[in-house]
Amino acid sequence: MKPGWEMVIGLEVHCELKTRTKLFCGCPNEFGDQPNTNVCPVCLGLPGSLPVLNQKAVELAMAIGTALNCQIRPSTFHRKNYFYPDQAKDYQISQYDEPLNVHGHLDLPDGSTVGIERAHMEEDTGKTTHAGASGRIHGADYSLVDYNRSGVPLVEIVSAPDIRTADQARAYATELRAILVASGASDGKMEEGSMRVDANVSVRRSASDPFGTRCEIKNLNSVRSLGRAIEYEADRQIALLESGGTVEQQTRHWDEGEGRTVALRSKEEAYDYRYFLEPDLVPLVPDAEWIQAVSDTMGILPAARRARLVELLEEGGESTATRADQVATVVDLGLDDLVLAAVAAGVGAGLALARTANEAATDPPAARQIGPRSYVALLTMEADGSLTATQAKAVLGEMLAAGGGDPAAIAAARGFEAMSEDSLVATVAEAVAAHPDEWGRYRDGEDKLAGFFTGLVMKATKGQADGKAINAELRRLRS
């Protein structure tokens, strides 16, 4: 970001709801099936068909509203009219001026807060594939349409223009994704398109200036491309303004390969969607009882889960400031249950968190597959000294690769046995005797040489010694 400028960013996130069936019909809501197999008269928009609202989808939408601290209120559906072949009825049923969820906010791990203007329900379109060089509908040799996705329930979450940096945008998308997963509303897979992010970006010289003209960026398929696209777009707008030009309000496409945004259409070319109240549906008026029931059945949200880990660290007398990243990683990957289980079994919170954030996090699905029981058994062996840290990591690596296993058996098979105290004392003594100069300097207070001796002992024992025990022995000899 160029000094002297500020970005203003608002994000629009579409997420597919994890319902069994589609929003207005009984067709399966499944990704990856044979094209045009999960379809019926309703989601194909056949003449005479009518939509019937899926109550489960409403509940998941309300769960999102609850998780984002929104007011949940009576709402209506409108028709958004435009012609496109993936749109079975040539209109999309969407909530317009009376959305289900309004006026919420999302607290980010760094302590900042982003306002949520609305989170409304709508149906997804089908999916087009354009054959030919352009890859777009214009100039295509032919186009194929798969209506399996047509009518899949979506919630569009619109943030306030409260985001000021690309990092904050990334944090917002990451946290929102974690909330969607935790609330059970969506699987939040950006790569499969079940979570899609559009960014509205503008720039201004100072925080007291009015907002600049914004551009909307589409086709952001990962948190990484979101950040890159925002940075590129802000730089583009700043360069324009600094050279005396003006920013034109546009919809722009992020080209991941080229690393740049390209204009799709300008404001003048924007569609007139001719929104009007959908006459085939009745107003959606959730009562207080229903809203409460949804809130009661919702999973624990990431912010609360992070707070729980921090609390455990504090109880164990561990530093929390330096471990914020580990806490965020573990919660974001949904591995905090493993940490909680280990702490409950008596493992220190610091150790449990470190192993989970550093090792288990390299393969979260495998870590979940290992399950709390074997995982806790392993950490207990490390905690009580039957395995050194190095050994424990090796055993865990094997468990992750295999998706499970008995840590004691793996340790035995590898010949890992913690060294006896006598043999540790002897090995340390040998190392000290072999390097009298270094020992002298260590004795005189050059503490960093502890690492030198630890390395020697580790080498001599092929990693079977426990680093902490070596340090303790070195300190004992010096005193």
Partner 1 sequence: MTSPAPAADLARAVRSGSRSAADVLDGYLAAIDADEEEIHAFNLVTAGSARTRADEIDRRVADGEDPGLLAGVPVALKDNLCTRGVATTCSSRILEGWLPPYDATVVVRLRQAGAVVVGKTNMDEFAMGSSTEASAFGPTRNPHDRGRVPGGSSGGSAAAVAAGFAPVALGSDTGGSIRQPAALCGVVGMKPTYGTVSRYGLVAFASSLDQIGPLATTVADAALLFDVIGGHDPLDSTSLDRPTPRALSVLDDGVGGMRVGVLTEFMEGASPDVVARVREAAGALAAAGARVEEVSVPVVTLGLSAYYLIAPGEASSNLARYDGVRYGLRVDADDIVAMNTATRSEGFGAEVKRRIMLGTYVLSAGYMDAYYNQALRVRTRIIEGFDAAYRSCDVLLGPTTPTTAFPLGEKTGDPLTMYLSDVCTIPSNLAGHPAISVPFGAGDDGLPIGVQLLGPALSESTLFKVAAVVEAAAPESPAPAGGGRS
Q: Is 285 in the site for partner 1 (CB under 8 A)?
A: no
Q: Measured from the CB atom, is 90 or 325 closer to partner 1?
A: 90
143 contacts partner 1 (rule: CB under 8 A): yes
Q: How many CA atoms lie within 13 Å of 25's alpha carbon, on the beta-carbon side?
A: 22
Q: Can you tell me which of 46, 239, 304, 401 binds partner 1, judged by CB under 8 A?
A: 46
Instruction: Determine contact, residues 151/124, Cβ cutoff 8 Å.
Output: yes
Give min distance, CB of 81 to partner 1, in A: 5
For 192, the token pair is 């499969």
Closer by beta carbon to partner 1, 274 or else 476: 274
Residue 408's nearest CA partner among 427, 389, 391, 428 is: 391
Return the DSSP state at 356.
I
Stretch touching partner 1 by CB under 8 A, among 280-288, 357-365, 404-412, 425-433: 280-288
Could you tell me if residue 463 is left (phi over 0), alpha (psi between -120 and 50 degrees) or otherwise beta? Answer: left
Residue closest to 202 by CA, chosen among 176, 172, 164, 169? 164
Among residues 131, 137, 304, 472, the one that binds partner 1 under rule CB under 8 A: 137
Stretch that binds partner 1, among 8-16, 44-52, 293-301, 461-469 (CB under 8 A): 44-52
Our finding on whether 265 is near partner 1 (CB under 8 A) is no
Applying CB under 8 A, does 264 fall inside the site for partner 1? Answer: no
Report the SS3 class of residue 424.
helix
Q: Among 15, 60, 88, 199, indicate the residue that binds partner 1 (CB under 8 A).
A: 88
Hey, is 335 helix, strand or coil? Answer: coil
Question: What is the C-alpha to C-alpha distance for residues 291 and 64, in angstroms, rounded to an integer?
Answer: 11
Taking the complex as a whole, how short is the minimal distance between the CB of residue 92 and partner 1, in angstroms?
11
Residue 128 tokens, joined: 């087009």
User: Is 44 a binder of partner 1 (CB under 8 A)?
Assistant: yes
Q: 83 vs 287, which CB is nearer to partner 1? A: 83
With binding defined as CB under 8 A, does residue 76 bind partner 1? no
Q: Residue 259: which region, alpha, beta or left (left: phi > 0; alpha: psi -120 to 50)?
A: left
Which one, 285 or 402, has the nearer CB to partner 1? 285
User: What is the DSSP code (8-state) at residue 320?
Assistant: S
> For partner 1, which residue of 1, 108, 241, 281 counts as binding (CB under 8 A)?
281
Does 85 participate in binding partner 1 (rule CB under 8 A)?
A: yes
Let me know: does 379 contact 359? Beta carbons within 8 Å. no
- CA gap 69, 442 in Å, rounded: 57
135 contacts partner 1 (rule: CB under 8 A): no
Contact 234, 203 (CB under 8 A): yes
Least distance from partner 1 to the Cβ atom of residue 68, Å? 27
| CA separation for the pair 263, 139 (Å, rounded) | 18
421-434 helix and 449-461 helix, angle to the nearest 10 degrees? 120
145 binds partner 1 (CB under 8 A): yes
**Contact stretch for partner 1 (CB under 8 A) within 184-192, 271-279, 456-464, 466-474:** 271-279
Q: Which is nearer to partner 1, 15 or 121 (CB)?
A: 121
Assess 153 for contact with partner 1 (CB under 8 A): no
Asked whether position 35 contacts partner 1 by CB under 8 A, the answer is no
- Strand-pair partners of 93: 79
State yes or no: residue 89 binds partner 1 (CB under 8 A): yes
Contacts to partner 1 by CB under 8 A: 41, 44-53, 79, 81, 83, 85, 88-91, 137-138, 143, 145, 272, 274-276, 279-282
